[in-house]
Structure 1
Amino acid sequence: MSVNLLDTSNWLPLDGLAPGFDANKAPTVQDLAGRHFTVNGDGGPMTFSFDDEEVNWAAAGQAGTAQYEAFLVAEQLYYAQWHSSVETGLAVSLILDLANGRALYIGALLGQATPGTTAVEHDFRAGVLEGYSTGGEPIQESTGLIGRRVEWVYSPVHAYEHVYLSPTWYTWQCLAGPERGLADTDSNTVFQVRPGIFVFTWREKVIPCGSVTIADHRNVNAIRSHGSLFGWDESGVAPVHFTFGAHGRLVSVSHHSPGLNPAL
């Protein structure tokens, strides 16, 4: 008997997706261990001190110590991710561009969805690294992905495609895996970190979860992403948080008629 894909009550909860989804996750690195960073910018200074396993941080009115994972995105560009051990409804992503002296803090706040809101909301705070020389462009919101259609492979089993529609929306479709055949359009926010390297975040409305990813799109035939998912388990009581990675490929780019470009 076939499953009615239009019946969202049949959709997998976040903890049902997790097994095997992280097969293409990149190796973690210890490059941040023993280092302290102060970020000056939106909302005042934020501090982050890393050892081999834990980060001690104070940012956006929150503070604590938690185990973290760090990934090398490009030369001197890092993505660190952790789930707060103090406030279980908070997961933190930190982008550190040591070559350009810039950083982006993203707090993922897990609550209950209400009409017009999603269960996860993202708090974005960009800034500069104290004691580092700044270069390049500031980390800021970007329309650079709009019009692209990208195929993402998360494991030998899981594959999806993304179509980046506008500054507010993107469409996803599962091409392989337990969600094959499912698709939806959800809210997104995109930041450019360096030319061709983007932070892409999304917030789902059917499954109570959200994601923060960073991807290097400079080689459109070998795109590499690192990310995390954060949301409620099937019971709606316990938070689920895990990291993953994907290999991507640009499938196509939409070219709109003059005056109809959603990026403008």
Structure 2
Amino acid sequence: MSLNLLDTSNWLPLEGLAPGFDANKAPTVHDLAGQQFRVRGDGGPMTFSFDDEEVQWAAAGQAGTAPYEAFLVAGQLYYAQWHSVVEQDLAISLVLDLTNGTALYIGATLGKPTPSRVAVQHDFRPGTLDGFAAGAAIAESTGLIGRRVEWVYSESHAYEHIYLSPTWYTWQCLAGPERGLADTDSNTVFQVRPGIFVFTWREKVIPCGSVTIADHRDVNAIRSHGSLFGWDESGTQPVHFTFGAHGKLISMTHHRPELDPAL
């Protein structure tokens, strides 16, 4: 008997996706070790101090020390990710552009979903780095709208994303344990540099959210780095892991100007 894909109670919990999903994760780097960064923005000052294994931070009214992973996205552009040791409902992503002197803090808070609220809420705080010459600010973007991108996370995990509007995107599993599943979820996108985007999403069926950063400058060889954060099957324990993917643009939708969802 075939599985009823429309019955969302059959969908895998977040930890069911994890085995092997991180096969295409990029190697981590220790380039940030020994450095301290002070970020200024509308949300007030934030500080981040890195050693080889841990980051000490104070941001958005919270502070702590935790193990971290850092990835090199492009020249002098880094993505760091960690899960708070003390506040298990908090995961943090930090984008540092040392060339342009800009940063983006994203705090992911995990709560209980309701009919009007998804489980993960994202707090976005762009800013500038003290001691660095400031370039173009990191800001929300409509640059992905209309693109359909195929993403390969491992030899057995593949998805496609269709970026619909400033609020919505559609995903479909092409290979892996979720093959055949699809949904439309909320997203928020920031442009970090021309062609490099932070893409975040918040799922309503599986209680989880994600923060990714991807280099789309070569549409045939897109590279992403990201993390997933959500509840386990019991709804009592947080699940947090990092991953990576290789992507390519497979089509582009062009609307008439008066119907363009990006405008």
TM-score by length of structure 1 reads 0.99
- 1:259 is paired with a residue whose SS is helix
For residues 179 and 46 of structure 2, the distance between their equivalents in structure 1, rounded to whole angstroms, comes to 41
Which residue of the partner structure matches residue 54 of structure 1? Answer: 54
Which residue of the partner structure matches residue 126 of structure 1? Answer: 126
Q: How does 1:207-222 map to 2 (within 5 A)?
A: 207-222=206-221
Asked if 1:64 corresponds to 2:64, the answer is yes
Shift of the alpha carbon at 1:43?
1.1
Shift of the alpha carbon at 1:114?
1.1
- 2:66 is paired with a residue whose SS is strand
- 1:191 is paired with a residue whose SS is strand
Shift of the alpha carbon at 1:127?
0.3
Q: How does 1:33-182 map to 2 (within 5 A)?
A: 33-135=33-135, 137-182=136-181
Q: Letter of the aligned partner of 1:5 in structure 2?
A: L
For residues 257 and 127 of structure 1, the distance between their equivalents in structure 2, rounded to whole angstroms, comes to 35
Write out per-residue CA displacement over residues 23-73 of structure 1, whole angstroms, 9 at most, x where no aligned residue: 000000000000000000021100000000000000001100000000000
Q: Letter of the aligned partner of 1:228 in structure 2?
A: S
Which residue of the partner structure matches residue 202 of structure 1? Answer: 201
- 1:187 is paired with a residue whose SS is strand
TM superposition outliers: structure 1 runs of 4+ over 6 Å: none
Aligned residues: 263
Shift of the alpha carbon at 1:86?
1.1
Shift of the alpha carbon at 1:257?
1.5
Which residue of the partner structure matches residue 16 of structure 2? Answer: 16
Q: Letter of the aligned partner of 2:131 in structure 1?
A: G
Which residue of the partner structure matches residue 191 of structure 1? Answer: 190
Shift of the alpha carbon at 1:260?
0.2
Shift of the alpha carbon at 1:116?
1.4
% identical aligned pairs: 83
Q: Letter of the aligned partner of 1:258 in structure 2?
A: P
- 2:257 is paired with a residue whose SS is coil
- 2:213 is paired with a residue whose SS is strand
Asked if 1:233 corresponds to 2:232, the answer is yes
For residues 152 and 30 of structure 2, the distance between their equivalents in structure 1, rounded to whole angstroms, comes to 26
Which residue of the partner structure matches residue 31 of structure 1? Answer: 31
Which residue of the partner structure matches residue 253 of structure 1? Answer: 252
Asked if 1:6 corresponds to 2:6, the answer is yes
- 2:259 is paired with a residue whose SS is coil
- 1:235 is paired with a residue whose SS is coil
For residues 45 and 251 of structure 1, the distance between their equivalents in structure 2, rounded to whole angstroms, comes to 41
Shift of the alpha carbon at 1:258?
2.5
Q: Letter of the aligned partner of 2:156 in structure 1?
A: V
Q: Letter of the aligned partner of 2:178 in structure 1?
A: E
For residues 18 and 203 of structure 1, the distance between their equivalents in structure 2, rounded to whole angstroms, comes to 17
Q: Where does the alignment leave 5 or more consecutive residues of structure 1 unmatched?
A: none
RMSD of aligned C-alpha atoms?
Answer: 0.4
